[in-house]
Amino acid sequence: MNQRTRKLVGTFGLIGLIVVYSIAVMAIYINLLAGQPWWVLIVFFAVAGLLWFFPATWVIGWMAKPD
């Protein structure tokens, strides 16, 4: 697979990752954390906001590999 194809696949993969991840975080919030104190929510959303970085970094690294 050449780099151009990897970038196309990776772009759609990242979009899918962000959509699925945001729905999962929203489901966790609605089912487990609704009604929690504000500081719990700040910690949860701060951690959740940073965790998507690791799989996205892997995908971007894969997309940038030379041919």
35: left (phi over 0), alpha (psi -120 to 50) or beta: left
pLDDT tens-place values along the chain, 67 residues long: 899 999 999 999 999 999 999 999 999 999 999 999 999 999 999 999 999 999 999 999 999 998 8
The domains of the chain are located at 3-62
Provide the pLDDT for residue 67.
Answer: 84
pTM summary value: 0.83
For 24, list phi and psi in degrees, rounded to 5: -65, -45
- CA-angle at 1, arms to 21 and 53, nearest 5°: 25
